Amino acid sequence: MRHGKKFNHLSRKTAHRKAMLANMACSLIEHKRINTTIAKAKALRQYVEPIITKSKNDTTHNRRLVFSTLRDKYAVSELFRDVAVKVGDRPGGYIRIIKLGNRQGDNASMAMVELVDYNEIYNPKGAKKKKSTRRRGGKKAVAANEPTPEVVEEPKSKDAENKEDA
């Protein structure tokens, strides 16, 4: 019986599941956004959020705890150096899951998992980019802005002048 057991095993043995989640977490920290199935995305959220919370307090003990779960020193250094600085004032909810639809091959429901503070489109506090293009009028405005070509007459030869006189 599975009374009270709410952990999603993702149809994998324990060692495979832990290695997969650690690799996905390292990819998420490195690339700031990954695509995966919805079930893996929800499992990844439960796996990564406590790790990011530990990274907000940069101590040797916390670095060792995070390294024991991620097992990648480059991801740990990136997490403590860059990611923890951006999420320092956020009390939780470091990851956003956006549903993408179904995968072509097996019709699995897909999702994009991203770090919340690294997406400028959804981040209301982020610096907004000014629009660089402006509207123009119809054809008249476009034609008025184009330079007019200059007509240059070529000097006529003497043979051509004689034919015109005749």
Q: Is 102 helix (H, G, I), strand (E, B) or coil?
A: strand
**127 assigned to some structural domain:** no
**6 assigned to some structural domain:** no
Q: Is 87 helix (H, G, I), strand (E, B) or coil?
A: coil
Q: Which residues span the domain enclosing 91?
A: 14-118
Which pair of structure tokens corresponds to residue 7? 């952990």
- The torsion angles phi and psi of 161, rounded to 5 degrees, stand at -70, -40
CA-nearest of 54, 30, 49, 27 to 96 is: 49
**88 assigned to some structural domain:** yes
**52 assigned to some structural domain:** yes
Please state, rounded to an integer, the average pLDDT across all residues of the chain: 87
Query: Is there a contact between 90 and 117 (Cβ–Cβ < 8 Å)?
Result: yes
pLDDT in tens, 79-95: 999 999 999 899 999 99
Number of structural domains (the chain) is: 1
The CATH number linked to 58 is 3.90.1030.10
Q: Is 75 helix (H, G, I), strand (E, B) or coil?
A: helix
User: For residues 110 and 159, which has the higher predicted lDDT (pLDDT)?
Assistant: 110
pLDDT in tens, 1-54: 889 988 899 999 999 999 999 999 999 999 999 999 999 999 999 999 999 999
**141 assigned to some structural domain:** no
**Percent of the chain whose predicted confidence (pLDDT) is above 90:** 66
**95 assigned to some structural domain:** yes
pLDDT in tens, 51-71: 999 999 999 999 999 999 999
**134 assigned to some structural domain:** no
The DSSP bridge partners found for residue 135 are none
**30 assigned to some structural domain:** yes
pLDDT in tens, 130-157: 667 777 766 555 555 666 666 666 666 6
pLDDT (0 to 100) of residue 133: 72
Q: Which amino acid is at 56?
A: K
Cα dihedral 23→28→31→33 (10° resolution): 130
